[in-house]
C-alpha cells in the first residue's frame, strides 16, 4: 500500500524528507507493516486489565502511537473501498460506521499518564485496527485449499 503526497505515490514504509537549509526534516512518519502490527494487536488484547496490573504506561503509549499511524493509513484504504461500493449496500453501511468510529478514535489526543487509561486506549485502537482490516478485506489471507494440486 502507499499514500499520496502532492500527487506522488509513496510506499507505506518510506520516510519522506524535506531539505531546509542544512537540515533534513521528516515529513511523514514510518508506518509499521501489517506483519509488525498483528502481533502487537495480539499483545494489547491479551492484557487483562480487570485483574493484575496493567503494562507500564510507556509500553501502552508506544502501542497507541503505532496503532494510530497504522489506523490512519487503513482509514484511507477503507474510504477508497467504500467509495467503490453501491450507496445502498449493507457492506458500505458497515464500512461507513467503521470509518466514523475511526475518525473519532484516531484523532483523539494521546491518553494521559494513567497506566490503565493508556492500556485501555491501546486495546480500543487494536480492536479498531481489526475492524478496519476486516472492512478493507485484508483481515487474513484466504485459506489455501490443501486438496488442490
Nearest to 59 by CA among 103, 111, 128, 102: 111
Predicted confidence (pLDDT) per residue in 114-130, tens digit: 999 999 999 999 999 99
Q: Does pLDDT of 29 surpass 60?
A: no
Predicted confidence (pLDDT) per residue in 42-95, tens digit: 999 999 998 888 999 999 999 999 999 999 999 999 999 889 888 888 888 999
pLDDT of residue 89: 87
pLDDT of residue 87: 87
**Domains in the chain: boundaries:** 1-30, 31-136
> What DSSP string runs through 61-75?
HHHHHHHHHHHHHHH
Higher pLDDT, 90 or 29: 90
pLDDT of residue 112: 83
DSSP-assigned letter for residue 1: -
User: How much is the average pLDDT of 95-120?
Assistant: 93
pLDDT of residue 33: 87
Q: How many helices (H) and strands (E) does the chain have?
A: 4, 4
Rounded to an integer, what distance in angstroms lies between the CA atom of residue 119 and that of residue 56? 9
Q: Is 123 exposed, middle or buried (0-12, 13-18, 19+ CB in 10 A)?
A: buried
Largest CA distance in the chain: 61
pLDDT of residue 10: 45
DSSP-assigned letter for residue 20: E
Nearest to 91 by CA among 127, 126, 130, 134: 134
Amino acid at each position: 500500500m502507499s499514500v499520496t503526497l502532492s500527487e506522488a505515490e509513496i510506499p507505506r514504509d518510506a520516510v519522506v524528507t524535506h531539505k531546509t537549509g542544512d537540515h533534513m526534516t521528516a515529513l511523514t512518519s514510518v508506518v509499521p507493516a501489517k506483519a509488525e502490527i498483528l502481533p502487537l494487536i495480539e499483545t494489547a488484547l491479551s492484557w487483562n486489565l480487570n485483574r493484575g496490573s496493567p503494562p507500564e504506561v510507556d509500553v501502552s503509549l508506544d502501542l497507541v502511537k503505532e496503532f494510530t499511524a497504522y489506523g490512519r493509513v487503513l482509514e484511507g484504504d477503507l474510504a477508497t473501498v467504500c467509495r467503490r461500493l453501491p450507496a445502498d449496500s449493507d457492506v458500505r453501511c458497515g464500512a461507513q460506521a467503521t470509518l466514523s468510529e475511526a475518525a473519532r478514535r484516531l484523532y483523539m489526543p494521546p491518553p494521559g499518564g494513567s497506566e490503565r487509561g493508556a492500556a485501555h486506549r491501546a486495546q480500543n485502537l487494536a480492536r479498531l485496527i481489526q475492524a478496519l482490516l476486516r472492512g478493507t478485506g485484508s483481515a487474513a489471507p484466504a485459506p489455501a485449499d490443501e486438496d488442490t494440486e
